[in-house]
Structure 1
Amino acid sequence: MSQVVQTRRRRLLSLLCSAAVLMSLGAASAQVQSGSQEEPFSPPYTNVPSGPLQFVDGTEWQDSFDGAPGKLSKMDLQIPTINESTADYIKGAIAKYQQIVVQGGWPQVQATAKPLRMGMRHDNVSVLRQRLMVSGDLSQAAGLSNTFDSYVDAAVRAFQLRHGLTPDGVVGESTVKALNVPAAVRLRQLQKNLERVDELAPKLEGQYVLVNIPGATIEAVDQGHVRSRHTAVVGKIDRQTPILDSAIHELNFNPYWTVPVSIIRKDLIPRMQKNPNYLAENRIRIFDWHGNELQWQDIDWQTDEATQYRFTQDPGDGNSMGTMRINFHNTHQVYLHDTPEQSLFGSGYRFHSSGCVRVQNVRELATWLLSSTTPDWDRARVDQAIRSGERLDVRMKSKIPLHMAYITAWANSDGVVHFRGDIYNRDGLTAASAGGLENPLN
């Protein structure tokens, strides 16, 4: 084997290992950013026809591996995503995107029969390179060849990270949709979110918890430093997590779950119509408002009669609250809570709840909430409270502010611009975007 081939293989292996690390960081909610600051590239764009796919042995690529690739660098994880300087960063991003729009935006990347990925050669790759150069994810020094090399792979992963997509380097349907949202739409998205950040940032002082609904993420912040970040699952499109400001005041260990009326009507009644054993199988009991327990046969399930009663799920395995519920004052009957459905945290699309916010690694958040406000609480005591299986309600000695916000675009100090899907269509830009997915403005 030649020295050149060995060198290329070592570099390729290094890039793949780096990508694997980045993917694992994404799953743990660590923020990873792209650092490329290239000036926008503005070639004349034309639609490139879809030609046949060709696979290339990575060790035989003729494209040079010595150019400067777009880099993937990790941000300072202690800095809150939204802070007192974020509005200024967004203004800088707006200026950049105004320039991109004036220069004609970016080209549309056509989908291929098989998703583009590293090792392929295809006419659409050159258009993909142009698209990534315009947004600064790929250096212009990488050239416009039709080979999907390691530099394009790194640039695609950077783009995916900036848009809240799984950073796998594969140009699948969701990535193509995100690539093809017009620059003018992204510009308006930034302008809309500048207004939101201007309103939100002054509230973010001292200790607080911030839930960003479109990002399905949570930050626990203490005096300008992030103490923990958490992946979240938030409300479905038709059962939206509310935007609100409140304060966390209590934690329930091994809680009961009182089923909200909306879920009784939309979920429980239809399930009982199909399976009369559903309540027993899920350890859900029925009570009137005087505390008397009823049997399922006492209710007419062909009507809405069930909404007149209280349905309570016992603590334990399968409880919808998991091992913990975090309470804050609100009129929507929503909470932060654990969940038995941990697999949902690994999905790129995390809009599955009925309005509550499910928290990955909830014990870490609970430990910070209690150790910051209530004497004699630490991680060991949190673990013991859960392990006991006993009901325990802990009222915090002081409250910690909670902000549930809707931020779909922001920028960081290094100029990296982030976008998230307008899942609830609050940006009002869906009709102008590429459309077609549940999350069209990714």
Structure 2
Amino acid sequence: MTTSSGAKNSALLILEKCILLGLSFLNSVLLARIAGPEIFGQYTYILSMAGLFLPLSVMGLNNIVTKYIVKNPTNAHFYLRSAIIVRLFGALLSIILGILLIFFLNSENNINILLLILLQSFSAFYVIEFYFLGKQQVSILLKIRLLILLMLNILKCTAILNGAPLSILILLQGLEYVLIGLSYISIYTFGKHHHFIKRATNKQSYLALAQKGKWLLFSGIAATVYLKIDQIMLANLIDNQAVAYYAAAAKLSEVWYVFPVLIANVFTAQLSKLRFNSYPKYQQLLQQLISLLVLSALALSISTYFVAPIIIKLIYGQAYQSSAAILSIHIFASIFIFQRAVLSKWLIIEKLYKYSLISSLSGAAVNITLNAILIPHYSGVGAAWATVISYMVASYGFLFFQPKTRRYALILHQSMINSPAIVKSLLHQRCANKK
């Protein structure tokens, strides 16, 4: 299923994320318990509003860059530089739209929202990580990124414990994008991995790359809407405390989402190669990834359902006990999110970019509609049901709209039917490799 370099990259990334997620989660819990639901709700609302603009700093180019580097390594720097320029234009657009937002949004948090939008624009340089992923040299960036995030999380923890104002917490959150983005561009520009390229980037290369990423850009915007809209609508239809109770549950659920994305990112290069060199092995690898991720999500969801009240009381305290009912529902979204990590790669490799948009638009439409209906009556519990149903539509239901996407539905079904045999085979391979 994997090469030694792929396994090493996966292990390094997962180890890093375990450390950083632990620190980030600790800070989230501290803020929730020390500052209380009102401040915690405001903080979450600010992050959700600013997050709506984040896709413009990505421009749908992450996985496209990896794909083109794998297919044409001699022009790797050409594709990367073009992608950086396109993403910088997108980041500038996000700042302009953010400035316009504060004139129409009647909120006490306008300045903090605009500050975070400005700082997160440095994530335009994050595309460099996908260049190194394509080269299977991910460990080069890991050390500096880990150091920066460790430092910032320690500063956040100190700020929370000392009762720092909300603006300081937002500033520290935004500095993460700034420092990592600057470190990435420094490593690329001044490191041994950078060299002169004969193909100069120009307006045509930017437009061509932006054209290739347009479907994924629109998809990213739609996906961000249905990922963030629940907390934004809770704040506007109920209050900030409702956001806090929902965010406490969602944090426990969403903390797991990064792992399938990491694993899928590591296997993107291998999947791209197999698609054009060995189609049967390509399908086999897809089935293996889907089976492992979906079964993992199913085990996680069922176990969390039974212990949700205990987890919430233990971690957040009695004040957040209403979050338990939300968590017991929200956690089942992981079943669809886990397999979507593979689905996203499949859509890119198969050049079905527009279906990623259809997927996200359908999820966003369902989520907004259900939130509008359910939140006024059921608050956070209604938002949790809206989230699960919208994820199901966006990651599974839309597959049946067109014959081209039904191919993945067939792979998904075969993966689940054959999952016991697949898991047994993988365990056998792992034991054989150890010997």
Q: Considering the TM-score relative to the shorter chain, is it more than 0.5?
A: no
Q: Which has the higher strand share?
A: 1
| TM-score, scaled relative to structure 1 | 0.28
